[in-house]
Amino acid sequence: MTNTALALVLFIAWTLALLVLMEAIRCWLVLSKQVPANGFRPDNDNLAPFMQRLARAHLNCLEGLPVFGGLMVVALLLSKGAVTDGLALWLVAARVVQSTIHLASLGVVAVNARFAAFAVQIAIAIYWVWKLLA
């Protein structure tokens, strides 16, 4: 498996892991009768701050998948994996860092660190677009 294919699977797996975590906590909240089964909002804004951050971290992954994942798919389809292979795992690492910081805190330092991790992903994507179009 190429780094690009592995990174795509890892990006999807990370997105899925955040979803599974959120749904496991929601199940516990229902089973412990803290929230009725129909009492959840998509953004978890009626739940604890961690759950709100978890919903947003998951949504960030879903929002990024068409861009970052799409570029990896294009590279694979065009047999240009060499363009993305070198930075693909770095992109996923930056995504995991971004999500982890998001789950941990909304403090100023955390938000700045989270943005730096996102900026790494944007820079990689811009580079990939430039190289794929060349």
Class of residue 1 by CB neighbours under 10 A (exposed 0-12, middle 13-18, buried 19+) = exposed
pTM: 0.94
Percent of the chain whose pLDDT exceeds 70: 100
Predicted local distance difference test score (pLDDT) of residue 67: 97
Q: How far is residue 103's CA from residue 125's CA, in Å, rounded to a whole number?
A: 24
pLDDT for residue 96:
98
d(CA 83, CA 128): 7
Q: How far apart are CA 124 and CA 118, in angstroms?
A: 10
Q: Identity (one letter) of the amino acid at 13?
A: A
Instruction: List, for residues 69-101, the tens digit of each pLDDT value.
Output: 999 999 999 999 999 999 999 999 999 999 999
Domains of the chain as residue ranges with CATH:
3-133 (1.20.120.550)
The model's pLDDT over 5-29, given as tens digits with 9 standing for 90+, comes to 999 999 999 999 999 999 999 999 9
